[in-house]
C-alpha cells in the first residue's frame, strides 16, 4: 500500500516524510490552491450564494504534482493545519482531485496533529478521520462575507473618497477603534490633582514612604487636593509630626501564573517583551512549529501556533512537572496540575496551548540551532509554558496607618516569601524577581513613634487612554470577540499597508485618509463597523463551525440590508459630503467659506470657490494651520542648522531650515540597525531604509564611503553551504518567503513560508 500525504508547507513536508518512511509521498500545497477569481460575481448572490472558485495560477504545478503522485497511490491523506483554513485547504485539494477523476477507488482520509514529532505523526496516521465539513462551511462563509464587503464597499470608497482604498469586514472595525481612541485623546482635558508623600522612619536604619490618606478627619479622594495651595497646606500639617502607628494589617496572598500562550497572548507578549510585530511573531512561530535542524535531525519545536485553547495534554503536564522538579526542586511543583479556563466559546479543547514539543529541550540547549529571533520567541514560549505549571508565588502584604490627631498617613508594602513561578517568568516583564521590585516596610508595631524626615507634595494630571500598540489592539479585538487566532496579524498588517495608520513609538496613529475612511464607514455603515455586530457575526460563524446551523442563511441575512445601504449611499451621498469639512474661516481673497479638504498628501484648508479661487494652506496633525515650520531636535549634518519637519509626496521628512541655501534632507525616523556587519568595508552595519518609492532596502551605515546595499533583509544566520556570514530573507508572490545566501557565487536557498 502507498499513500500521498498533502501538507501546507515544504518545510513540514520534509520532516513528515522522514518520519513516515517508505510508502508515503509527502507533498506541499503551499497554502490555498483555489480562491475566488479577482472579479465581481465570484459569490453569486442571485443563485443562493453559489461560490465560484478557480485554481490559483502558481498552484497549478502543485496540483499537477499531487495528481501525478496519486496515479501510483492507494490513498490520499490530507494533513493540512488543524484550523478552519487548514480544513478548507484539505477540502479544496480533495474536491479538485475528485473533479479530475483521480480519486476513483482510492481512500481519502484526514489527519491532524498539533506538533510535528515522530510520535504525533505516526499516531495521526494510525488514527485517521474524515473531513470536518462544518469547519469548511465556516471558512467558506467567512471568505464569502469578506468578499461581499470588500468587492462592494471598496468601489464605493473609490467613488466617494479616492481610488486605491479598501474596506474589510474586520479591518474596518479595527480602524474604527484606532480612530476613536485618537479622538478620545484629542478631546481629553487633563485634571490636576496632588498627593502628599512623607519619608518615614521608626528608629530602624531603613526609611519607608507613606501617603496622606486622611486630613482633618476626612478621607481624601483623588481630587480633594486639586491645587498647589491645598497640597502645601496639607504638607505643613504632616511636617508638624507626632505620628504614631495606629493600625497594622498583615496577610499572606498568592500570585498565580498566567496560562500558557494562545495565539493572541503570544502576539501581545512578543510585542511587549521582544518588540515583534504580530506578523513577525507568527512567521517565527511557524518556523518553530514546522521544524529546525537540532543535533542533525529536523524536529518541530513547538505545538500548533494558531489556537485559542489554554489546555495542555496529560502527557505534556506530566513532562513539564518532571522538568520543574528536576530544574527547580519539588517545592516548585504544585500538588495538583493547574487547569486554566478557556475564554473562547468555540475553543477546540482537542487543541493545546502553544508549548514546546519537548520540555527538556531548554532554550540553552538550542542556542546553536536557532537564529537570534527564533531563540527569543522559543525562550518566551518555553518559560511561559513551564511557569504555568509551577507553584504560586507567596507574598506577605502589610498595610500600616500612621496617625497624628485627625491626620492619617498610609504605608503599603509587600515582601516576597516564596518566589514560585516568578523565579522563571513574570508576565509583561520577564525578569526573575527575588523581591527587589516589591516595596518593603520595616517591622512596625501599634504604638511605634514615627519620625518624619521629609514631606513632598507631588503634582499630577489625569491622562487619556494611550494609543493602541499591537499588543493592546489585539487585546481589544479579542475582548470584543472580533477576529480569530489566524486573523489578528493580517488585520494589523493591512492597516499599515493601506496607509490608514502610521506607527509612532510603536503605537497606531490614524492618517488623514484613515480617519476620513473610518468616519465615512461609521456615518453610513455604522452597524457594519460596530464592534457588537462584528462580534455577533463571529459568533454565528462559530456556530456554523460547530455544525449548529447552515452557512447560507447567514449570508442571506447579511446581504439584503447591506446591499440596500450600498445603493442608497451611492445615490444620495456626494463626494464633497465625505471629503469636505466646513469651517468658520473666511477666504481672505474672495470672502467665501474655507473648508478642510482631503488631498493627495493629507488634509488641507482651501477656499470653496475653487477653481476660481485657489487659496489653500496646509494643516498640521492637530488640524490647525501651522504658523511656522515645525522644528525638530535634529541638526543638519551638512551646515549644522536646525532641521524642520516637512511633508512631501512620500510622507513626512526632515529638511534643513536654511533651504534653499542647504538642500539636505533626512528620514524623519532614524534607520533601524540590523546589527549585521557589512562584509565589504567590515566597519559598518546594515541599516533598514526606505527608498523614494517607499520600498524597504538595507544599506551600509558607512554610506557614502561604502555603497554596499541589499534589497532583501539580512539575517544573523551563516549560509550552511558556503559559510557566508549571513543569509537574506527574500519574499515574493511566487515563492513565498525564502532564505537565500547573500554571496553572489552561492545558489543556496531554503523555503521558509509558502506563498499566500
Residues catalogued as catalytic:
304
- CB contact set of 218 (below 8 Å; sequence gap of 6+): 224
Helix (H) / strand (E) element for 564: namely: helix 552-572
The three state secondary structure string of 333-386 is: CCCCCCCCCCCCCCCCCCCCCECECCCCCCHHHHCCCCCHHHHHHHHHHHHHHH
CA separation, residue 234 to residues 199, 202, 449 (Å) = 15, 22, 20
Q: Coil, strand, or helix at residue 504?
A: strand
Q: Give the chain's end-to-end CA distance (angstroms, integer).
A: 33
Residues with Cβ < 8 Å from 318, sequence gap 6 or more? Answer: none
Cα–Cα distances in Å, from 518 out to 477, 487, 511, 514, 515? Answer: 16, 20, 10, 6, 5
Residue 647, C-beta contacts closer than 8 angstroms, at least 6 positions apart: 601, 602, 618, 653
Taking the C-alpha atoms of residue 66 and residue 739, their distance in angstroms, rounded to an integer, is 25
CA–CA distance, 327 with 336 (Å, rounded to integer): 18
Eight-class DSSP state of 445: -
Enter the C-alpha cell of residue 697: 532596502
CA dist 67 → 9, 53, 62, 90 (Å): 17, 19, 9, 14
DSSP 261: B
Q: Is 745 exposed, middle or buried (0-12, 13-18, 19+ CB in 10 A)?
A: exposed
Q: Which of 243, 249, 200, 246 is nearest to 447 (CA)?
A: 246
| Helices and strands per DSSP (H, E), number in the chain | 17, 35
Give the long-range contacts of residues 94-97, CB within 8 A, separation 24 or more: 94/131, 96/33, 96/34, 96/55, 96/63, 97/63, 97/66, 97/67, 97/70
Distance in angstroms (rounded) separating the CA atoms of residues 242 and 244: 7
The candidate with the shortest Cα–Cα distance to 327, out of 417, 269, 254, 389, is 389
Dist CA 336 CA 389 (whole Å): 9
Contacts of 560 (CB under 8 A, 6+ apart): none
C-alpha distance from residue 290 to each of 88, 282, 283, 731 (Å): 20, 12, 11, 18
Amino acid at each position: 500500500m502507498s499513500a500521498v500525504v498533502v501538507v501546507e508547507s515544504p518545510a513540514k513536508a520534509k520532516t513528515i516524510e522522514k518520519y513516515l518512511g517508505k510508502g508515503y509521498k509527502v507533498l506541499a500545497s503551499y497554502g490555498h490552491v483555489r480562491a475566488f477569481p479577482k472579479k465581481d460575481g465570484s459569490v453569486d448572490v442571485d443563485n443562493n450564494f453559489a461560490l465560484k472558485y478557480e485554481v490559483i495560477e502558481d498552484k497549478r504545478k502543485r496540483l499537477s504534482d499531487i495528481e501525478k503522485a496519486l496515479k501510483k497511490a492507494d490513498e490520499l491523506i490530507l494533513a493540512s493545519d488543524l484550523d478552519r483554513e487548514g480544513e478548507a485547504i484539505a477540502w479544496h485539494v480533495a474536491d479538485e482531485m475528485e473533479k479530475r477523476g483521480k480519486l476513483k477507488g482510492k481512500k481519502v482520509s484526514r489527519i491532524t496533529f498539533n506538533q510535528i514529532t515522530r510520535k504525533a505523526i505516526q499516531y495521526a496516521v494510525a488514527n485517521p478521520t474524515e473531513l470536518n465539513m462544518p469547519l469548511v462551511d465556516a471558512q467558506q462563509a467567512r471568505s464569502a462575507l469578506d468578499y461581499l464587503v470588500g468587492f462592494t464597499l471598496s468601489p464605493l470608497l473609490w467613488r466617494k473618497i479616492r481610488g486605491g482604498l479598501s474596506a474589510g469586514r474586520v479591518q474596518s472595525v479595527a480602524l474604527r477603534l484606532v480612530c476613536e481612541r485618537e479622538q478620545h485623546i484629542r478631546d481629553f482635558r487633563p485634571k490636576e490633582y496632588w498627593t502628599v508623600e512623607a519619608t518615614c522612619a521608626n528608629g530602624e536604619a531603613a526609611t519607608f514612604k507613606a501617603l496622606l490618606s486622611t486630613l482633618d478627619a476626612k478621607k481624601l479622594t483623588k481630587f480633594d487636593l486639586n491645587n498647589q495651595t491645598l497640597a502645601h497646606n496639607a504638607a505643613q500639617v504632616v511636617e508638624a509630626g507626632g505620628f504614631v502607628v495606629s493600625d497594622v494589617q498583615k496577610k499572606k496572598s498568592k500570585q498565580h501564573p498566567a496560562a500558557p500562550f494562545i495565539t493572541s497572548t503570544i502576539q501581545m507578549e512578543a510585542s511587549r517583551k521582544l518588540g515583534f510585530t504580530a506578523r513577525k511573531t507568527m512567521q517565527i512561530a511557524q518556523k518553530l512549529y514546522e521544524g529546525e535542524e537540532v543535533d542533525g535531525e529536523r524536529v518541530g519545536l513547538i505545538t500548533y501556533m494558531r489556537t485559542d485553547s489554554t489546555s495542555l495534554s496529560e502527557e505534556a503536564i506530566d513532562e513539564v512537572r518532571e522538568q520543574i522538579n528536576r530544574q527547580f526542586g519539588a517545592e516548585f511543583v504544585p500538588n495538583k496540575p493547574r487547569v486554566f479556563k478557556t475564554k473562547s466559546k468555540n475553543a477546540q479543547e482537542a487543541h493545546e496551548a502553544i508549548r514546546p514539543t519537548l520540555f527538556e529541550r531548554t532554550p540553552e540547549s538550542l542556542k546553536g540551532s536557532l537564529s537570534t529571533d527564533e531563540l527569543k520567541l522559543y525562550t518566551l514560549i518555553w518559560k511561559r509554558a513551564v511557569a504555568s505549571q509551577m507553584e504560586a508565588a507567596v507574598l506577605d502584604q502589610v498595610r500600616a496607618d500612621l496617625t497624628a490627631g485627625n491626620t492619617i498617613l498610609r504605608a503599603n508594602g509587600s515582601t516576597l516569601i516564596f518566589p514560585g513561578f516568578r523565579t522563571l517568568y513574570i508576565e509583561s516583564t520577564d525578569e526573575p524577581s527575588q523581591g527587589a521590585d516589591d516595596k518593603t516596610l520595616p517591622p512596625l508595631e501599634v504604638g511605634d513613634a514615627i519620625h518624619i524626615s521629609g514631606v513632598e507634595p507631588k503634582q499630577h494630571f489625569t491622562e487619556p487612554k494611550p494609543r493602541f500598540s499591537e499588543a493592546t489592539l489585539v487585546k481589544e479585538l479579542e475582548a470584543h470577540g472580533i477576529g480569530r487566532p489566524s486573523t489578528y496579524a493580517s488585520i494589523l498588517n493591512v492597516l499599515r499597508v493601506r496607509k490608514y495608520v502610521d506607527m509612532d513609538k510603536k503605537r497606531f496613529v490614524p492618517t488623514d485618509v484613515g480617519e476620513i475612511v473610518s468616519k465615512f464607514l461609521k456615518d453610513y455603515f455604522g452597524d457594519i463597523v460596530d464592534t457588537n455586530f462584528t462580534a455577533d457575526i463571529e459568533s454565528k460563524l462559530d456556530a456554523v463551525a460547530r455544525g449548529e446551523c447552515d452557512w447560507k442563511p447567514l449570508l442571506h441575512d447579511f446581504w439584503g440590508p447591506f446591499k440596500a445601504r450600498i445603493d442608497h449611499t451611492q445615490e444620495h451621498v456626494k463626494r464633497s459630503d465625505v471629503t469636505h469639512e466646513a469651517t468658520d474661516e473666511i477666504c481672505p481673497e474672495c470672502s467665501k467659506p474655507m473648508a478642510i479638504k482631503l488631498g493627495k498628501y493629507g488634509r488641507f484648508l482651501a477656499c470653496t470657490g475653487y477653481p476660481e479661487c485657489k487659496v489653500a494652506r496646509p494643516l498640521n496633525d492637530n488640524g490647525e494651520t501651522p504658523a511656522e515650520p515645525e522644528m525638530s531636535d535634529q541638526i543638519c549634518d551638512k551646515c549644522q542648522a536646525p532641521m524642520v519637519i516637512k511633508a512631501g509626496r512620500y510622507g513626512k521628512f526632515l529638511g534643513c531650515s536654511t533651504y534653499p541655501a542647504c538642500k539636505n534632507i533626512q528620514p524623519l525616523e532614524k534607520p533601524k540597525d540590523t546589527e549585521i556587519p557589512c562584509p565589504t568595508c567590515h566597519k559598518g552595519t546594515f541599516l533598514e531604509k526606505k527608498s523614494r518609492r517607499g520600498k524597504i532596502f538595507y544599506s551600509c551605515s558607512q554610506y557614502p564611503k561604502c555603497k554596499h546595499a541589499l534589497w532583501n533583509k539580512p539575517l544573523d544566520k551563516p549560509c550552511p553551504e558556503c559559510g557566508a556570514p549571513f543569509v537574506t530573507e527574500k519574499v515574493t508572490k511566487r515563492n513565498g518567503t525564502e532564505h537565500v545566501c547573500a554571496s553572489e557565487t552561492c545558489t543556496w536557498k531554503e523555503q521558509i513560508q509558502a506563498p499566500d
